[in-house]
């Protein structure tokens, strides 16, 4: 039995970060606990974890001949990373906007000359299926190389019934392009399209587009049967809290749980709206006031923070992830890969998130594994090294997970394992021992 069958033993880890699942996302002090185990091992059979413990204990029960073994001596083993916020399907390029902003242009000036999300909408509508799929494949390769084993992907650059259905269909088709597990979200309420109603983007246009989503778009998406979540924006000048609540409730009536884009550009009551409606997530939260976080208090809604977005958008405030954790809110960390942010490495984003938000390495790791998994309703499937979950893990070339945060951007990732199969790193074609390091040799057992 080899790794191609989903049978694998990972042994000898200097530190095994189990991030043990305790029945829900981590909050408060527990978000900073990794459940480390020295000389740790994981046994995977048929793609599922069957044992976790010390190397001696695991091999005593699961060290049968013929099972491929990955030697993690001197290395750290983490649960496979879970990327819970990405917009990978788009046409066109927006690098010029970032250069303009760095040169002093305002967001309003960039938008006035035709930039912003709307430029990606028009470009995406004009891009053919084959090109969009090719772009997805390139993005998936890079995202996987950053340690991601489960990836949330959003539509949202179509904003008509036909174009949103096309994007969702292409995202479904793209499952064949990567071994990562994809979770698909419908984001019709991304921005208000400029070509609806009078085309002025004012309140009447926002109400007209809300009517379209609720009356025609959501039923069509549900009938298509691809989307697993319904994402809604709460932002000044886009969708009001009342409009967002209407859309979330309509989506729930039709069977889609809500996610929320909240407070990315202004304080918009996005966090309170999302938590009040019991949304699975609220994502961004850059401008959520501290008073609002205090007023909402503890909640099951997962707060997804996006440090690279705040860096690229040059915001004058950062999401208060520290206060959210201290308020017993589960916090997840993601890249926000999209048309204007090409951050594909979640591992590098994690290294940035710790100093950006003043979080501990352990809090960030939990945010990119277990809490991110629960933000996708996949807590029972991934996000921790627990018996019964899918055999997803990453091996890093450092003896302790804290060291991942001392070398942002350094090539510390050795192997990515999905369902017991080594996807990135030295391949296993049969029984053998995989030595440490990408490109390492395979020796006969």
pLDDT digits (tens, 9 = 90+) for 321-370: 999 999 999 999 999 999 999 999 999 999 999 999 999 999 999 999 99
Going across the sheet that includes 69-71, the strands are 48-54, 40-45, 8-13, 69-71, 433-434, 442-443
**Of 436, 418, 334, residue with least CA distance to 72:** 436
Decide if pLDDT at 426 tops 50.
Answer: no
Q: With beta carbons less than 8 A apart as the criterion, state whether 185 and 152 touch.
A: yes
CA 439 to chain centre: 27
Upper half-sphere CA count for residue 75 (Cβ side, 13 Å) = 23
Decide if pLDDT at 430 tops 60.
Answer: no
Long-range contacts of 59-67 (CB under 8 A, 24+ apart): 59/9, 59/11, 62/9, 63/9, 65/431, 65/445, 66/1, 66/431, 66/445, 67/1, 67/2, 67/7, 67/8, 67/9, 67/431
Contacts of 175 (CB under 8 A, 6+ apart): 182
* Cα–Cα distance measured from residue 245 to residue 227, given in angstroms and rounded to the nearest whole number: 19
Provide the token pair at 203.
């309140």
Q: Which residue has the higher pLDDT, 430 or 71?
A: 71
3-state secondary structure of 292: helix
**Of 420, 341, 297, 409, residue with least CA distance to 85:** 341
In this prediction, residue 434 has a pLDDT band, given cuts at 50, 70 and 90, of: very low
Q: With beta carbons less than 8 A apart as the criterion, state whether 215 and 208 touch.
A: no
Q: pLDDT per residue over 32-62, tens digit each? A: 999 999 999 999 999 999 999 999 999 999 9
Cβ-in-10-Å burial (0-12, 13-18, 19+) of 441 comes to exposed
Mean pLDDT of the region 234-238: 94
The strand pair at 76-79 and 69-71 is best described as unpaired
* Cα–Cα distance measured from residue 374 to residue 23, given in angstroms and rounded to the nearest whole number: 10
* Cα–Cα distance measured from residue 141 to residue 121, given in angstroms and rounded to the nearest whole number: 24
* Cα–Cα distance measured from residue 17 to residue 368, given in angstroms and rounded to the nearest whole number: 13
In this prediction, residue 132 has a pLDDT band, given cuts at 50, 70 and 90, of: very high
> Which pLDDT score is estimated for 445?
24
Mean pLDDT of the region 194-204: 70
> Which pLDDT score is estimated for 39?
98
Please report where in the chains the tokens 């001949």 appear, as a residue: 65
> Which pLDDT score is estimated for 4?
64
Q: Between the CA of residue 66 and those of 258, 353, 416, 421, 427, what are the distances in Å?
A: 46, 41, 21, 15, 16
Mean pLDDT of the region 77-92: 97
DSSP state of 182: E
Whole-number percent of the chain with pLDDT over 70: 93
Provide the token pair at 358.
């003043």
* Cα–Cα distance measured from residue 29 to residue 173, given in angstroms and rounded to the nearest whole number: 41
Residue 373: Cβ within 10 Å count: 29
pTM assigned to the model: 0.93
> Which pLDDT score is estimated for 110?
77
In this prediction, residue 30 has a pLDDT band, given cuts at 50, 70 and 90, of: very high
| Core vs surface per residue 42-52: b (16+ CB within 10 A) or e | bbbbebbbbbb
Upper half-sphere CA count for residue 90 (Cβ side, 13 Å) = 25
> Which pLDDT score is estimated for 442?
25
3-state secondary structure of 64: coil
Mean pLDDT of the region 371-382: 98
**Of 322, 270, 410, residue with least CA distance to 31:** 322
> Which pLDDT score is estimated for 410?
75
Q: pLDDT per residue over 158-192, tens digit each? A: 999 999 999 999 999 999 999 999 999 999 999 99
Upper half-sphere CA count for residue 89 (Cβ side, 13 Å) = 34
Contacts of 247 (CB under 8 A, 6+ apart): 189, 210, 213, 214, 218, 230, 232, 239, 258
* Cα–Cα distance measured from residue 4 to residue 11, given in angstroms and rounded to the nearest whole number: 18
């Amino acid at each position: 039995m080899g790794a191609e069958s989903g049978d694998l033993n990972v042994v000898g880890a200097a530190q095994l970060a189990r991030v043990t699942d305790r029945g829900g996302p981590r909050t408060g002090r527990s978000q900073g606990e990794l459940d480390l185990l020295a000389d740790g091992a994981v046994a995977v059979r048929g793609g599922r974890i069957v044992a976790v413990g010390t190397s001696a204990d695991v091999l005593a029960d699961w060290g049968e001949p013929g099972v491929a073994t990955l030697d993690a001596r001197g290395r750290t083993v983490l649960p496979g990373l879970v990327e819970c916020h990405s917009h990978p399907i788009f046409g066109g390029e927006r690098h010029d906007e970032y250069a303009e902003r760095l040169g002093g242009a305002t967001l309003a000036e960039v938008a006035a000359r035709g930039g912003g999300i709307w430029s990606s909408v028009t470009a995406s509508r004009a891009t053919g299926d084959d090109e969009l799929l090719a772009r997805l494949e390139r993005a998936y390769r890079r995202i996987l190389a950053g340690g991601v084993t489960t990836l949330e992907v959003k539509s949202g650059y179509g904003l008509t019934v036909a174009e949103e259905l096309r994007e969702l269909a292409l995202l479904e088709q793209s499952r064949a392009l990567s071994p990562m597990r994809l979770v698909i979200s419908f984001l019709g309420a991304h921005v208000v399209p400029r070509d609806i109603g009078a085309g002025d983007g004012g309140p009447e246009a926002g109400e007209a587009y809300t009517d379209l989503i609720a009356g025609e778009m959501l039923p069509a998406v549900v009938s298509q049967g691809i989307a697993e979540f319904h994402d809604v924006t709460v932002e000044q000048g886009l969708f009001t809290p009342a409009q967002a609540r209407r859309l979330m409730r309509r989506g729930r009536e039709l069977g889609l749980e809500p996610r929320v884009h909240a407070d990315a550009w202004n304080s918009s009551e996005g966090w309170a709206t999302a938590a009040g409606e019991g949304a699975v997530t609220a994502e961004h939260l850059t401008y959520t006031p501290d008073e609002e976080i205090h007023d909402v208090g503890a909640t099951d809604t997962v707060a997804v923070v996006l440090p690279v977005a705040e860096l690229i958008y040059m915001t004058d405030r950062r999401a208060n992830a520290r206060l959210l954790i201290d308020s017993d809110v589960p916090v997840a960390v993601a890249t926000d890969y999209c048309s204007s942010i090409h951050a594909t490495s979640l591992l590098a984003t994690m290294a940035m998130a710790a100093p950006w938000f003043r979080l501990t390495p352990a809090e960030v790791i939990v945010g990119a594994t277990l809490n991110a998994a629960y933000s996708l309703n996949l807590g029972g499937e991934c996000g921790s090294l627990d018996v019964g979950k899918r055999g997803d893990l990453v091996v890093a070339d450092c003896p302790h997970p804290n060291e991942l945060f001392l070398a942002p951007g350094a090539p510390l990732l050795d192997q990515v394992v999905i369902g017991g199969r080594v996807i990135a790193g030295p391949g296993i074609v049969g029984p053998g021992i995989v030595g440490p390091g990408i490109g390492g040799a395979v020796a006969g057992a």
